[in-house]
Amino acid sequence: MKKVKILSTGSYLPPKVLTNFDLEKMVDTSNEWIVTRTGIKERRIADENVATSDLAVEAAKKCLDKVGYKPEDVDTIIVATITPDMFFPSTACVVHKKLGGKNEPTAFDISAACSGFIYGLTIAEGLLKTGKSKNLLLIAADTLSKFTNWQDRNTCVLFGDGAGAMLLTAVDTENESDDAVISTYLGADGNYGELLYLPAGGSKMPASIETVEKKLHTIFMSGKEVFKVAVTKMVEAVIKSCELAGIQPQQLDLIIPHQANLRIINAIGERLNVDPTKIFVNVDKYGNMSASTVIVGLDEAISEGKVKNGSLVCLVAFGGGFTWG
């Protein structure tokens, strides 16, 4: 049996910054209210002519460049996104083309909302361990700002745009490696679907003048209900993943939770009885970037020296569906 080795990571954030003070001019809100409720101070926003694939490509290039890999060295591209460039072709195929399109890899998207990167990592682990892939590029990218109701003070303060990438390969079990995937755990419950969703645009409610006028192509969320389940399920995911790895949560060097809300992040640390310094936070700078939050967080933690060779790190996320892992 092989194990999965992490070769490199990369991330990309659009240059445009939207602060809470900017939002004060757009909706009935205040910097104090936003920071108190969410911990968010600013977020990144992609320009109108920038698509999700553009962010994904920039993150992928940074990831590949770190280890001197070329796009054609990659035989599998997985993109986790809920804001694809279009229904089809997949954003992964668009990314392949924009990276040069010199080979013929496996390429597909997955949709698991904010848990997308964790779901993708689990799929990647299976493909690599079974020999179906040798060098796999896993990308999480979203442009939630394009699907946000900028007149809804409860949701428009939450979301930002960004992308992160991870390059993975398979190595023999006896190969010494401190930067390998040890365990993964996933869960879902479709009964909660309409607590966090984007109603229109699919086969159930195709795009029309009416759906656009009613802003049904934007994110709807029942915040209080989501909060309760998010904390419970992310704590559960950390505990179960640690059990599979044969360790206790307190042995982790760093936990990188989905960056949706600082109160959720703090609640996770408290329930796990983990030192607050071991909980990574960057929600204040970027807001909720959907699936990309955990990989952007990991890439940032590595660059800041918070994650080193041999560090025990847990990525944990929760998203629409509900999904978690």
Q: Could you report how far apart the first and last alpha carbons of the chain are, in Å?
A: 23
> Does any domain span residue 28?
yes
Provide, rounded to the nearest whole percent, the portion of the chain with pLDDT above 70: 98
CA distances from 303 to 66, 300, 306, 307, 308 (A): 12, 5, 8, 8, 9
Same domain, 274 and 138: no
Q: Which of the following is catalytic: 20, 93, 261, 288?
A: 288
What is the chain's length?
325
Same domain, 166 and 191: no
Q: Which of the following is catalytic: 20, 156, 258, 314?
A: 258
> Does any domain span residue 203?
yes
- Last residue in a domain, options 140, 172, 204: 172
| Cβ-based neighbours of 311, under 8 Å, separated by 6 or more | 253, 254
Same domain, 18 and 67: yes
Same domain, 142 and 15: yes
Report the range out of 3-7, 172-176, 225-229, 284-288 with the highest average pLDDT. 284-288
Clarify whether 96 is annotated catalytic: no
Q: Which of the following is catalytic: 20, 93, 96, 114?
A: 114
pLDDT, tens digit (0-9, with 9 covering 90-100), for 143-193 = 999 999 999 999 999 999 999 999 999 998 666 556 789 999 999 999 999
CA distances from 112 to 37, 44, 140, 188, 190 (A): 25, 22, 11, 9, 11
pLDDT, tens digit (0-9, with 9 covering 90-100), for 51-76 = 999 999 999 999 999 999 999 999 99
What CATH number has the domain bearing residue 276? Answer: 3.40.47.10
pTM of the shown model = 0.96
pLDDT of residue 176: 59
> Does any domain span residue 182?
no
| Token output for 102 | 């010199």
Q: How many helices (H) and strands (E) does the chain have?
A: 10, 14
Clarify whether 288 is annotated catalytic: yes
- Last residue in a domain, options 124, 148, 172: 172
pLDDT of residue 175: 60
Clarify whether 309 is annotated catalytic: no
Same domain, 7 and 125: yes
Number of domains in the chain: 2
Contact 81, 140 (CB under 8 A): yes
194-202: long-range contacts at Cβ-Cβ below 8 A with a sequence spacing of 24 or more?
A: 194/220, 195/221, 195/222, 195/225, 195/226, 195/229, 195/322, 196/113, 196/220, 196/221, 196/222, 196/226, 196/319, 196/320, 196/322, 197/320, 198/82, 198/147
Instruction: Quote the domain boundaries for residue 302.
Output: 187-324
